[in-house]
Structure 1
Amino acid sequence: MGSRTEGLQRLLVIINKLKGKKRYIPTRELKRYIAEAMEMRGYSGKSGRTLERDIDDIQSLFGISIAYAKREQGYYIKEEDESIPERYGQLLQNFDLLNALEGDTNLRTYVLAEHHRPLPSECLPMLISAIKHRHPVTFRYILVRQDDKVEEKKVLPHYLKESNQRWYLLAYEGDVLKTFGVDRIRDLRICASETFKRNMDINVDELFRDCYGIWNQPDIPVEDVELKYDALDGKFLKSVPLHHSQQVLTDNADEFRIKVHLRITNDFVMELLSRSRSLEVISPPHLRERVRKVYEEALKRNE
């Protein structure tokens, strides 16, 4: 088990290095980085593995093709299977955690796991297979906001995305890219006799840039939102920003004020309410009124 763990860690270390800011990594630099990273993880001395063997294993296990550019004198990622989730850093971190436990299988002695993990779904392996092999899928979909109405769907699956302990399927229904909660999918079927051309022009980073969480509703305008908190809540919002667009306007002993630029969706409003102890919505006025009404109705229910 130890040798397998070491080998997989080496592969992840190499991938992490090659997915960095530098396009080409010279042989000497890459080998030095691998040696230092593995020594830091408790593996000293030579492993007996060659860089060429590691590169072959990376291609086999992760679908990532690594090549050497003679002109630039460095290794680089030539291409990678787009169906592989880009979580190499997170996977490496998990291996580092297990390695630090030095073989102790009683994980609860050291680590308290979060109870609210992404819910397991029997649909995930089928959806990953359908995405990878470009097969349409059909399923029955439960519309929670419409009294659990059920609709028949046939879509072209493109991506799986995790958000707030839930999995979501990004798929084309007709010409529209839509989001489906995997936990609301029933009777999933893969149309194995059909294939489609996957749209590789989707800019995934931009797709959710102006939204909070998974719901990107183009009909909702992108707005500047100014929020005020006390200094205590400010400490938490500095360590874990509300949104990638967060700008700190004021930070002192009396208040913490920020501005974010996004679409004001239901998910975003719910997130604001989760830290309502000191929240004050400064702008826009319609969001301030929306939050006020939520508080007012909650007060009536709890009188």
Structure 2
Amino acid sequence: MGKKLEGIQRMLVIINKLKERQRYVPREELEEYVRLRMEERDATPVDIRTIQRDFKDIEDLFGICIRFDKKRNGYYINEEDSLINEQYERLLLNFDLLNALDKTSNLHTYVLAEHHRPSDTECLPALIKAIKFSHPVAFDYIYVREEGRMRNKKVLPHYLKEDQQRWYLLAYDNNVLKIFNVDCIRNLRIYYEETFKRDMDIDVNDLFKDSYGIWNQPDIPIENIELSYSALDGRFLKSVPLHHSQTIIADNETEFRITLRLRITNDFVMALLARSSSLTVIKPLHLRERVRKVYEKALQRNA
């Protein structure tokens, strides 16, 4: 396993341990926990000195300060100094590298990782650091919808957001807030000699609350949507709602009907098609027509 990957995994193991209900973790307990977790990954054995060096990297990379309380004889996360917020909490809980399976590890013999997990996560730590310390970044960006055309970008990074197992960078490009798929970023460079004032007034949750996934287009109106499904599909949609605005208006043996309020983007239409064997679009009519045309073209291709 590469040393860089080992280091990131070890840091996240430390954070997860210190974020448990136990407020103060004794030195021996932390060392044993990290040793066992890294042993599971066939990683290099570590001692308390290595772990203590990781504390500095954790503070630099994540803004999480780890301290030792002599009276309580344990390490703890200093919440007052920490920059933890909802975005960093989610980042730490879902960080792909924590569960990354190295080719040399025997974890694959009993852990079945998803084949489509994003692979280009190497630049995530660098992007986090650039965001934390307000450094501009530059990179070559692949435009998939333009037949793979690549353009150079220099942007002001503000947030990282995960959606459907992909990471996205929210950054200002020429004073316009844009979204970049991290998978499409190449040759990332950080301008350490430059800084900018980060816009802390951006309400990220509000930015996407009326959209499905990461696609936010203010020019697309927010609409009331009504959908009908079979009772069987309804069970799945109750456990994993399409959108936070989902409201159940009928739930019986013959029908499961819901209403939603959001922008009808391509991503949303694709989500509808993914579970459409029993789908009936009640309203709006233009969405019903859009779904019908997709199936018409599919029938023509597969006739």
TM-score, structure 2 normalization = 0.71
Task: Report the alpha carbon displacement of residue 147 of structure 1 after superposing the two structures with TM.
Answer: 2.8
Offset, 1:58:
11
Alignment map for 1:222-237 (pairs within 5 Å):
222-237=222-237
Q: Distance in 1 between matches of 2:12 and 2:157?
A: 33
Conserved? CA contact 1:119–1:166, under 8 Å: no
Q: Aligned partners of 1:116 and 1:6: how far apart in 2? A: 24
- CA 1:147–1:106 in 2, change beyond 3 Å: closer, same or farther? closer
Alignment CA distance shift 1:223-1:85 (3 Å): same
Distance 1:237 1:191, change over 3 A: same
2:162, 2:112 → 1: CA distance? Answer: 21
Matches within 5 A, 1:196-215: 196-215=196-215
Query: Which residue does 1:134 correspond to in 2?
Result: 134
Q: Is contact 1:227–1:281 with CA below 8 Å preserved after alignment?
A: yes
CA deviations 1:129-149 (Å, max 9, x no partner) are 211221111222222222333
Give the 3 Å change call, closer, same or farther, for CA 217–107 of structure 1 in structure 2: same
Check conservation: 1:12, 1:89, Cα contact below 8 A.
Answer: no
Take 2:231 and 2:128, find their aligned partners in 1: how far apart are those partners?
Answer: 44
- C-alpha distance in structure 1 between counterparts of 2:222 and 2:82, whole Å: 33
Decide whether aligned partners of structure 1 residues 193 and 206 sit closer, same or farther in structure 2, where only a CA change above 3 A counts: same
Deviation at 1:188, TM superposition (A): 2.0
| Corresponding residue number in structure 2 for 1:12 | 19
Q: Distance in 1 between matches of 2:90 and 2:273?
A: 30
Counterpart amino acid of residue 223 in structure 1: E
Give the Cα separation in 1 of the matches to 2:150 and 2:243: 33
Partner of 1:302: 302
2:292 corresponding residue in structure 1: 292
Aligned CA distance change for structure 1 residues 301 and 141 (closer, same or farther; 3 Å): same
**Cα contact 1:138–1:152 (8 A) shared by 2:** yes
Structure 2, unmatched stretches of 5+, are 1-10, 30-54, 67-76, 100-104
Structure 1 gaps, min length 5: 18-29, 39-56, 67-74, 98-104
Partners of 1:119 and 1:165 within 8 A in 2: no
Aligned length: 250
Between the aligned partners of 2:12 and 2:147, the Cα distance in structure 1 is 48
Contact 1:161 1:168 in 2 (8 A): yes
Q: Is the 8 A contact 2:64 2:84 kept in 1?
A: no
Contact 1:117 1:165 in 2 (8 A): yes
Following superposition, the deviation at residue 170 of structure 1 comes to 0.4
For the residues of structure 1 that align with 2:124 and 2:57, how far apart are their CA atoms?
A: 23
Q: Residue 149 of structure 1 corresponds to which residue in structure 2?
A: 149
Distance 1:133 1:290 in 2: 45
Which residue is equivalent to 2:217?
A: 217
Write the mapping of 1:1-303 to structure 2, written as runs, cut at 5 A.
Answer: 10-14=17-21, 63-64=63-64, 77-81=79-83, 85-87=88-90, 90=93, 107=107, 111-303=111-303
Structure 1 residue 175, shift from structure 2 partner: 2.0
Counterpart amino acid of residue 294 in structure 1 = V
Partner-residue secondary structure (3-state), 1:85: helix
Letter in 2 for 1:219: D
Instruction: Judge conservation of contact 1:59–1:65 (CA < 8 Å) in 2.
Output: no
How far, CA to CA, are the matches of 2:209 and 2:218 in structure 1?
12
> Distance in 2 between the 1:63 and 1:190 partners?
18
Quick check: 1:11–1:58 contact (8 Å CA) kept in 2? no
For 1:201 and 1:189, the matched residues in 2 are separated by: 26
If the length of structure 1 is used for normalisation, what is the TM-score? 0.71
Q: Percent identity?
A: 59
Contact 2:63 2:132 in 1 (8 A): no
Any conservation in 1 of the 2:118–2:183 contact (CA below 8 Å)? Answer: no
User: Does the 8 A contact of 1:58 with 1:64 survive in 2?
Assistant: no
